């Protein structure tokens, strides 16, 4: 569903003011608020006000307007929490861990002794797989 509002979406309800939230910043196109089930205290969510289920459905212009708030929010979360670092994450699609189908960024303050396990496991390309992948993605960028 690609529309400006989804009446069943919890984030759209927050945008409309139907569900209370600990709002941090709001612009014409975006809103940021504290996650009520934080990974670490200070965990902030940033999202476009318009309903778009996954990141790839945002226009470049809208993504730029929402994303432009990230540095300011990161500075504020770091200063307010005393975090040693941050994870800024977008889970796009259920298989990637997205649990609410409204595109959003997580800003998660981190400390060296927090209980979050990181990094993810990594793999390597073999043979010409790297070049093949580069070619396929580059072709899609030109489409």
pLDDT digits (tens, 9 = 90+) for 14-61: 999 999 999 999 999 999 999 999 999 999 999 999 999 999 999 999
| Residue 65 scores a pLDDT above 70 | yes
| Residue 117 scores a pLDDT above 90 | no
pLDDT tens-digit map of 77-87: 999 999 999 99
Report the helix count and the strand count for the chain, using DSSP H and E.
4, 5
CA–CA distances in Å: residue 24 to residues 47, 69, 79, 141: 12, 11, 14, 35
Note if 43 is an active site residue. Answer: no
Catalytic residue among 7, 104, 106, 122: 104
The C-alpha atoms of residue 92 and residue 3 are separated, in whole angstroms, by 17
Mean pLDDT of the chain: 94
Which CATH topology does 10-142 take? HIT family, subunit A (3.30.428)
């Amino acid at each position: 569903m690609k529309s400006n509002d989804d009446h069943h979406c919890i984030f759209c309800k927050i945008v409309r003011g139907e569900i209370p939230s600990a709002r941090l910043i709001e612009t014409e196109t975006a809103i940021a608020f504290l996650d009520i089930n934080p990974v670490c205290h200070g965990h902030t969510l940033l999202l476009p006000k318009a309903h778009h289920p996954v990141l790839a459905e945002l226009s470049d212009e809208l993504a730029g307007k929402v994303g432009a708030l990230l540095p300011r929010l990161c500075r504020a979360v770091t200063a307010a929490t005393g975090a040693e670092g941050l994870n800024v994450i977008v889970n796009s699609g259920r298989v990637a861990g997205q649990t609410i189908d409204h595109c959003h960024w997580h800003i998660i303050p981190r400390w060296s002794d927090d209980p979050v396990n990181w990094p993810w496991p990594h793999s390597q390309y073999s043979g010409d797989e790297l070049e093949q992948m580069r070619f396929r993605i580059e072709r899609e960028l030109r489409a």
